[in-house]
């Protein structure tokens, strides 16, 4: 799949995707992560990406036309990769008409705006995103983006009930959570038995894990894990997961 990140600060992304599982997923061709600088789509000579709010008030608002052009560019880059015909060439200089011409081609694409006022990002949403061909993530900044952007996006997503300075860290979190779910990114089966993997109807945190040494500073590994009795181990793990969920996230068990 392809993940396009629209940002005013592409330099913030140096590092987070260059290690461990995400790095390997990129090398294996499971995911392509593209950074698009929103400023490249400003058309005036000062390359303005924001302006003062209508109606007054503090802060600056990101301009809808600039962000919209960046979205259309992101959409059309996948279309161009998929096909090489001359019709596409003729649209190259005009992202708006180019995107309109090929909208039907674009079914498994989603445009998602990062904002503290969006719907909560959960494991179920990560799974939904991992099934797409193209995920386009937009990082908001300043006081947000002109509200008319809602006509050009599919959804708004928040990574938690707190306010970040911008959407960049949120897109890093989402890119990580989605990439590790792509088939082949991590050991087969590893994502089936972890926190939240059973979905919203059966929320369960993960059971505890142990490895050597068997005793550390007087703290021993639970006996049951040394017994070799797999059904009993499975039962114990389930009980532990239930107990931890009740203790740490009582809100999840009150359904
Ligand atoms: N931008 C600012 N705060 C955010 C949040 N909590 N989630 C996603 N994007 C944000």
Flag whether pLDDT at 106 surpasses 70: no
Answer yes or no: do 150 and 221 share one domain: no
Q: What does pLDDT average to over the chain?
A: 90
Q: Give residue 101's pLDDT band: very low, low, confident or very high (50, 70, 90).
A: very low
Domain region containing 99: 2-179
CA of 185 to the centre of ligand 1 (A): 26
The predicted structure's pLDDT at residue 97 = 52
Q: Tens of pLDDT along 169-213?
A: 999 999 999 999 999 999 877 787 788 877 767 789 999 999 999
Atom of ligand 1 nearest to the CA of 159: 7
- Domains in the chain: how many in total? 2
Answer yes or no: do 172 and 249 share one domain: no
**Nearest to 182, CA basis, from 253, 126, 122, 235:** 126
Phi, psi of 45, rounded to the nearest 5 degrees: -70, -20
Cβ neighbours of 8 (radius 10 Å):
21
Answer yes or no: do 82 and 144 share one domain: yes
Per the domain annotation, does 187 fall within a domain?
A: no
Per the domain annotation, does 184 fall within a domain?
A: no
Q: How far is it, in rounded angstroms, from Cα 88 to Cα 133?
A: 20
CA of 68 to the centre of ligand 1 (A): 20
Atom of ligand 1 nearest to the CA of 158: 7
What 3-state DSSP class applies to 127? helix
Q: Give residue 92's pLDDT band: very low, low, confident or very high (50, 70, 90).
A: very low
Which of 1-5, 87-91, 171-175, 200-204 bottoms out in mean pLDDT, i.e. has the lowest? 87-91
Q: Tens of pLDDT along 10-59?
A: 999 999 999 999 999 999 999 999 999 999 999 999 999 999 999 999 99
Q: What is the pTM of this model?
A: 0.87
The predicted structure's pLDDT at residue 35 = 98
**Nearest to 117, CA basis, from 77, 76, 158:** 158
Tell me the C-alpha to C-alpha distance, in Å, between residue 9 and each of 22, 84, 143, 229, 240: 20, 31, 16, 53, 43
Residue with tokens 């040394």: 226
Per the domain annotation, does 186 fall within a domain?
A: no
Residue located nearest, by CA, to atom 2 of ligand 1: 164
Per-residue pLDDT, averaged over 101-124, amounts to 83
**Nearest to 4, CA basis, from 164, 134, 174:** 134
Residue located nearest, by CA, to atom 5 of ligand 1: 116
Report residues whose beta carbon is within 6 angstroms of any ligand 1 atom. Answer: 114-116, 140, 158-160, 162-164, 167, 170
Nearest 5°: CA angle at 195, between 190 and 201?
115
CA of 160 to the centre of ligand 1 (A): 7
Answer yes or no: do 155 and 207 share one domain: no
Residue with tokens 């006996």: 223
Atom of ligand 1 nearest to the CA of 114: 9
Answer yes or no: do 122 and 208 share one domain: no
Answer yes or no: do 159 and 42 share one domain: yes
CA of 119 to the centre of ligand 1 (A): 10
Flag whether pLDDT at 95 surpasses 70: no
Answer yes or no: do 39 and 92 share one domain: yes
Residue 154 belongs to a domain with what CATH number?
A: 3.40.1280.10
Q: How far is it, in rounded angstroms, from Cα 194 to Cα 211?
A: 17
What 3-state DSSP class applies to 250? helix
Per the domain annotation, does 234 fall within a domain?
A: yes
Answer yes or no: do 165 and 234 share one domain: no
How many residues belong to the chain? Answer: 255
Flag whether pLDDT at 100 surpasses 70: no
């Amino acid at each position: 799949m392809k993940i396009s990140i629209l940002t005013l600060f592409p330099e913030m992304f140096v590092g987070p995707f260059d290690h461990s599982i995400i790095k390997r997923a990129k090398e294996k061709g499971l995911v392509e992560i593209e950074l698009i600088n929103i400023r490249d789509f400003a058309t005036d000579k000062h390359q303005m990406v924001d302006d003062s709010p209508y109606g007054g008030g503090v802060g600056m608002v990101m301009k809808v036309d600039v962000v919209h052009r960046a979205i259309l560019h992101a959409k059309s880059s996948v279309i161009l990769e998929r096909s090489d015909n001359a019709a596409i060439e003729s649209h190259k200089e005009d992202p708006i008409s180019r995107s309109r011409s090929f909208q039907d081609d674009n079914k498994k694409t989603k445009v998602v705006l990062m904002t503290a006022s969006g719907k909560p990002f959960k494991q179920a949403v990560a799974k939904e995103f991992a099934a797409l061909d193209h995920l386009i993530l937009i990082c908001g900044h300043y006081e947000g983006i002109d509200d008319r952007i809602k006509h050009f996006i599919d959804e708004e997503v928040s990574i938690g009930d707190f306010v970040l300075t911008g959407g960049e860290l949120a897109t890093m979190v989402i890119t990580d959570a989605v990439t590790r779910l792509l088939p082949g990114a991590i050991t087969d089966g590893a994502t089936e038995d972890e926190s939240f993997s059973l979905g919203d109807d059966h929320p369960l945190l993960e059971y505890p894990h142990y490895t050597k040494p068997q005793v550390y500073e007087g703290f021993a590994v639970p006996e049951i894990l040394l017994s070799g009795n797999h059904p009993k181990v499975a039962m114990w793990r389930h009980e532990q997961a239930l107990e931890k969920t009740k203790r740490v996230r009582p809100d999840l068990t009150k359904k």
